[in-house]
Structures are given as C-alpha cells and as structure tokens.
A = this chain, B = another copy of it.
C-alpha cells in the first residue's frame, strides 16, 4: 500500500506549525500585489488579460508541490511574456484563437523540454548560458519591453509587426497622442522611480523595519493602480478622455483546453521552445540559488527544472501562457515573509477566488498605468553593474553581454539568445586554443617554480622548464607546438626540456599524438623531452600508450625532482 505521505512534498510532510500564519499572510499579500502585474504580462505576451490570472493559479500550485526552492514564486513573468510575444507575433495575429493555441503549444513544448531535462539530470545545460549572456539577454529584452510600452504610454495605435516598425508608426502619429494617458503613465513612472530609489531608505531612517519597508515599497505599484482606477471611475477617464483601459475580463473558471493545443505547429515552435526553455532554466536556477543563498538553503537544480517544466505544462492546460520564476513575484513573496511553498499555494488559491468572483473594477485599470509600471520594472532589470564589472574584469565577457543585448534588440529574442550562446562558447574555445605557456625557474632554494618574467628565479644551463597552462586538445595543438619549437629553435644549446604539466588537466588523443611527434622531433635535434607533475587521472590514461613506453625522457613527480636530477 502506497502511503499518502509519499505523495506530499518534503516541506509539507514535516511542516513546522509556527510558519502557518506567516505563510498564509504572505500568500494573500502576493495574490493582491501581483494582480496588476499578471494582467500586464498577459497583455505584454499578446494574450487576453485573464490569461495572466489563470497562469497564476495552477502553475503556482504545481511548482509549490514539485519545485525545490522554498520562496521562489512561479507565474507570468516579464521575460517569458516578452519572449512569447516575440516568438508568436510573426506567426499569428495577437489575441486571435490561433495565437492562443500557439501560446498554449509553446508552454507545453517548453515545459515538456524543461521537465525532460530535469528528469534526465541535464540541469548542466542551463550553464550553456554564462552570466554576462543572461544579463545581456535580460538587458536587451528589458529595452524591448520598454520600447513596446511606448505606444500604450502615448496611447497611439501602432501598426507593424516588429518593435521597430511599431515605433516608426508611432513616431509618425505623434500629433494624435492622448495627453491624459501620457499624464497617467508618466506620473506612474515618476512615482515608481521615486519610491523604488528613495522610499525604503526614508522609511528605514524613520525606524521602520527593513523587511516592512521592502514590503511597503512593493505596495506602491498596487496603490497607484488602485488610485488611477478610482480616477477612471470618478472622472470617467475612459469615456470622456478616451483613456484606454484593460476592458472585458472573462470571469469564471477557464475551460480546460487540451483541445486547443495544436501539435502540428510543434515543428515551427520547437527551436523557440528550446530557447525559451534554456532561458527559463538558466533564470530559474540562478534565482532559486540566489534566494537560497539569502536563506542558507540548498537548491537541487534538476528538481527545479522538473518543477518549472510541470508548471508550464500546467499553464498550457488552461490555454495559458508560458510561466517562469518571476523576479518581482519572488521578491514580494520573500518580503511578505513567506517561509515555505505553502505561501504560493495560498496565493494560487487566492487568485482562483478572484477569478471566480471576477471583480469588474479590474476592467477599468488604465493601460497607460500598467505600461508605466512595466517600463519601470524593465528598467530595474538592466544590470548595469554586471556589464561594468565585465568590462573591467574581462573584455570578452563584456563583449558577450553587448553582443547578446544588441542581438536581442536587432534580431529578436530567440536569435539574440542563440547568438549569446554562440558567443559564449566561441570565447571559451578561443581562449582554450590560445594557451598561456610560461618559461619557469626555481625560486631561491625553495621547491617552487614560477614564471621567469615575474619572479627572480634560478635556472639550469641547457635545460628549459616550460609550464603549459591549459589542457591539451585538438584546438590548441598548433599553438603549443609552434611555441615549443620556437623555444627550442631560439636556444641551440638546449639539451633538455621539462614540460611541467600541473595545469594540464586533460590530453586528448590528437594532443597525445602531437606530443609524441614533438618528442620525436626534439630527439632529432638532440633535445630530450621530460614531463613533470602529471595529474593522476591523466597519468592513468597515458600509462598504456606507446608514447609513454617509448619516450626517451623521464617522468618526474615534481619540477623540483627534475631540476635536481638534471643539475
């Protein structure tokens, strides 16, 4: 007999009673605070607003049950929404049934992929994306998101498919802008920027606890939405000033719509779904880890993927939109005092209640206000520190950031992220194929060998100590060979060369054969090649080879041993 207990997630099996009230309160706070955001992200994805509400129910429950993070909240997220729109809008008219179908298919495909990666323990795939590439992608997407808000902020109808075409069309109709909408949107942005930069420090300096201040800051967007909607009601801004509002939200429970998924589109959507999956994985794991770090917990990357994947599959059931670990959503959850995923379950059920009640006031939230808050949220997504740090530390990483960001802006999100992955891998390969090789000598009468150019070292006449600072593989054979030959050619009095292998972690077959050739060549020049400090696993592998059996030089445990023998 299977015990019911086994079906419960671990955190629930041993649920600490004292967390109950904190979790319930946090869950209710999250429900209300992320309400406007959920609507806004659905619109950003080109979907009807209620889709954002649906996507906050089932996926949140599933993730709470299966995921490994204690405080991450899953639901509609800015990047996944933007990515959904970016992938689908060239294929179908936003908002049409065909478009909804494709959104559900995209969620299902990417969810299934992420789930499969998790089950196959392929979480390491997420590490195909380096941090500068992720940051560059997010920065590029954030700028795209902001640019996409401009038509809503100005309340000018935008024609065209791509963001740039839309902006051009808006620019040509600037005379038709709606000042009431612009005023609302502008005010929203100013208030949010002020509150996000100044409110928390001000509250803290007045003696409010840090966590409470953080929560109050998170409350501002909701207050702005409430007040502006109140203004719409009181002054009839929508009727009198043509301020656009959300409009009809379909109430009641969504229909379960497996039928809406059209798998014949899957071929078209497979690559976008894969990229969405990769981005989702990388972002989710990174966020779960940074949240866990704050709370000293451990995250299981592969279980994270199983959770994220199943959430997206769940999202697709309600004909919904792809979901992800939301930055704001999780931050609100943490600030509201959530201790376990129970908070997310409460939030999901809370959203279900709202959907069932179907509060009609949501329909009169002005779009310009939502556009303003999305823009400000997008600004905060651009991680300027990362690119500055990358620039100082490593130009190649900075290049990967810029390349990915520009790729996203110019080519679109999916090609942009593909470009980023390519840039990251190329940089890595290029570096490995241009290895650092140092001529070293012994420091004083110690046993340490250091770079001759950096330290005053002792050398032996006719003996050259070279340290190869890279694994040897097919990609850097030519570089290593030409460096070795150059060293030998420039010193005709050499009779022994010692390669210090302390930093050579692997030698592939191509490199082994090249090494044998080099040894042969050296022998012809009257130079004996020795090896020192070979790594254990590498030595195991090399023992059986012809090279090892036939080489004339010796294998030394340490550079110092070689030094003493050749002295």
Binding site for B on A (CB under 8 A): 123-124, 126-133, 285, 289-290, 293, 296, 298, 301, 386, 389-390, 392-394, 397, 424-425, 428-429, 431-436, 438, 446-448, 450-451, 454, 469-471, 473-479, 485, 502-506, 508-510, 512-513, 517, 520-521, 524-525, 535-537, 541-542, 544-546, 557-558
Contact = CB atoms under 8 A, between A and B. Distances in A.
A84 to B, nearest CB: 26
A393 B545 contact: yes
The 5 nearest A-B residue pairs measured at CB: A130-B474, A131-B510, A397-B509, A469-B505, A130-B510
A431 B448 CA distance: 29
Given A124-B475, A479-B124, A503-B505, A557 B448 contact: yes
Contacts of A434: 124
Which of A451, A474, A506, A537 is the most central at the interface, judged by chain B CB atoms within 10 Å of its CB?
A474
Please tell me how many copies of the chain the complex holds.
2
A447 B131 CA distance: 37
Contact of A541 (B132, B393, B508, B536): B393
19 contacts: A124-B475, A124-B478, A130-B508, A285-B478, A293-B517, A296-B524, A296-B525, A298-B485, A392-B544, A393-B509, A394-B508, A397-B509, A425-B429, A428-B432, A428-B475, A450-B536, A469-B537, A503-B504, A503-B535
A535 B469 contact: yes
Contact of A131 (B428, B513, B557): B513
A446 B448 contact: no
Nearest to A479: B124
Nearest to A434: B124
Given A127-B474, A130-B474, A293-B521, 9 more contacts: A124-B479, A131-B509, A293-B517, A394-B508, A397-B510, A428-B432, A431-B506, A447-B447, A503-B504
Contacts of A535: 436, 469, 503
Contacts of A293: 517, 520-521
A505 B436 contact: yes
A444 to B, nearest CB: 12
Contacts of A558: 448
Contact of A127 (B392, B397, B431, B475): B475
A132 B512 CA distance: 12
